[in-house]
Structure 1
Amino acid sequence: MAKNIVIELTDGRVMNAELYPELAPISVSNFIDLIKNNFFDNLIFHRIIEGFVIQGGGMYENMEEKEKLKTIKGEFEANGWDKNKNLSHVSGVLSMARTPAYDSATSQFFICVGDASFLDGQYASFGRLIDKDSIDIALKIASEKKDSNDKPLNPIIIKTIKEA
């Protein structure tokens, strides 16, 4: 059964999403634990690429990385996960970010803002934005002016993420 969450930004915007524990139980459990511990409070979307993704969940506004956490198993086909349990990486889908190591995801996540289906089978998709307003907010974030490292010039700060 889907779990509803709300991503609140400090500027008052809100994105509503569903997480799917039946598809990615480890990723969803990890994400919910982080929410319950207010881990995401005051972190930023530190990487935005129009037509691709907005990424957050690990950096403060000054680009200082929040403390490292335990890593989790990557729930995707290339890592032995059932390919039928992955959402395609299309606009609105939430997925865990990771290093090149398959089992390296911690807290960073991304929201697709375009067709990124080439990521299918390589990253653990675990949820999606559930309404047009939320997708529009993600698209607007992706279109912000950014520096050469894809960091928004005007910080997009997560006030909190909470269960709905």
Structure 2
Amino acid sequence: MSSLKDYNQESPINHLMARHWDKVEIKEVAEALLNAVKQNQLTDYVVADSWHKEKVLEYFKAFAGQELRYKNTDFTLFYQVEAADDYNDLRGQLLLTFQTDRMEYRVLLGMARLGDADCVRWQIYDVLWQDAGVSIVDVPLVQLEDPQSGEEICVLVTNHGDIRLRLFPQQAPLAVANWRSMVKDGFYDGSLFARIIKEFVIQGGALDESGDEALSSYGGYFADEVCQGLYHFNGAVALGNHGPHTNGNQFFIVQNTKVNEEQLLKLSLPRNVETAYLENGGLPELDGRYTVFGQVYEGMDVVVNIAGQVTDAKDAPLEPVVIQRIFFEKIS
């Protein structure tokens, strides 16, 4: 008769919230685990009688000998089970995020706190889910470069001052072509920044639910161009939408000077993108959801001034913020 145990068959008798010191403890365990993986010495970190012990060892074997960097741990479940004593009654599902020199990995681990009065430790009883890894290799940050001689840029003239934008037709050809067409047709002339949230965005285009939100040079909503090497850094210009592939004429400019570092722990970003967010600010939580097609390179003081206007309960400024006109010019 097998002496192995399937810990996945245990039923919770009480769901708990991990305390701060539980999180500190499991972080220390995870950091030590990754060091043990490098040394191929996992015995102390795997439940000896787990039915899934070999699966756990096989998963981590692929990383043996590599330099592994701890990034984050997060209990997705934390609970009690029936046990012979209180030393052996805690379980958790732990999402571990770690990095090699080129990739970031996430693995969901079944964890059991086991031991006695002399020693209690968290150990792995199963690998419940794993990803194939996400590249964190540095990428070109064309968005943060200065405009080049001969480049055509866009100027938004507002009643608070001028805002100058770079556009990125290679990364977002549909969005840039639509913007150029709508601007040249005068669509935005005399329109408003109708939604303003300080340390978030200023937003323009059709926001009145009149049905005009779908107006575009394509005759209606058009497709997203996300994950194309552009990010929601402070000053990014992006299309507003109502869900996938509902781009029209709504747009917003990011105005957020500080990034929540806890959010960055939950994202898989190229290393230089993460650094750029920390240095410049922005809204990384919007990446992959909205089409970025431009970047403010001059006039962020105007954006900040607009974002600081007094608003009503619907985030509309009490004093109109007007886009008087938009035009294009070439950098000499």
2:247 corresponds to which residue?
A: 105
With 108-117 and 67-76 compared, the bigger mean Cα shift is at: 67-76
Where 2:189 maps in the other structure, the secondary structure is coil
State how far apart, in whole Å, the 2-side matches of 1:66 and 1:15 are: 28
2:302 corresponds to which residue?
A: 137
Instruction: Assess if the C-alpha contact under 8 Å between 2:166 and 2:295 holds in 1.
Output: yes
Q: In the alignment, residue 157 of structure 1 is paired with which amino acid? A: V
Which segments of structure 1 move beyond 4 Å, counting only runs of 4 or more?
A: 63-66
2:223 corresponds to which residue?
A: 73
Where 1:44 maps in the other structure, the secondary structure is strand
1:7 corresponds to which residue?
A: 156
Aligned CA distance change for structure 1 residues 127 and 159 (closer, same or farther; 3 Å): same
State how far apart, in whole Å, the 1-side matches of 2:168 and 2:201 are: 20
Aligned CA distance change for structure 1 residues 86 and 31 (closer, same or farther; 3 Å): same
> 1:24-39 alignment to 2 at 5 Å?
24-39=172-187
Aligned CA distance change for structure 1 residues 72 and 139 (closer, same or farther; 3 Å): same
State how far apart, in whole Å, the 1-side matches of 2:251 and 2:314 are: 17
1:125 corresponds to which residue?
A: 292
Where 1:4 maps in the other structure, the secondary structure is strand
Asked if 1:48 is matched to 2:48, the reply is no
Q: In the alignment, residue 237 of structure 2 is paired with which amino acid? A: L
State how far apart, in whole Å, the 1-side matches of 2:160 and 2:291 are: 29
Instruction: Assess if the C-alpha contact under 8 Å between 2:188 and 2:323 holds in 1.
Output: yes
Q: Deviations over 1:38-62 (max 9, x none)?
A: 0001110011111010000225xxx
Where 1:40 maps in the other structure, the secondary structure is coil
Instruction: Assess if the C-alpha contact under 8 Å between 2:190 and 2:323 holds in 1.
Output: yes
Q: Is there any run of 5+ residues in structure 1 with no aligned partner, and where?
A: 77-82
Aligned CA distance change for structure 1 residues 117 and 160 (closer, same or farther; 3 Å): same
Q: TM-score, normalised by structure 2?
A: 0.43
Where 1:28 maps in the other structure, the secondary structure is helix
Higher relative contact order (CA 8 A, sep 6+): 1
State how far apart, in whole Å, the 2-side matches of 1:104 and 1:64 are: 14
Deviation of 1:3 (Å): 3.7
Instruction: Assess if the C-alpha contact under 8 Å between 1:86 and 1:126 holds in 2.
Output: no
State percent identity of aligned pairs: 31
Determine which structure has the larger helix proportion and give its number: 2
How many aligned residue pairs are there? 150
Q: TM-score, normalised by structure 1?
A: 0.85
Alignment counterpart, residue 116 of structure 1, candidates 247, 259, 283: 283
Asked if 1:149 is matched to 2:297, the reply is no
Structure (1 or 2) with the larger CA radius of gyration:
2
State how far apart, in whole Å, the 2-side matches of 1:140 and 1:90 are: 18
- CA RMSD across the alignment: 1.7
Q: Deviations over 1:99-123 (max 9, x none)?
A: 12x1111111000001211101110
Q: Is there any run of 5+ residues in structure 2 with no aligned partner, and where?
A: 1-147, 257-281
Q: In the alignment, residue 200 of structure 2 is paired with which amino acid? A: F
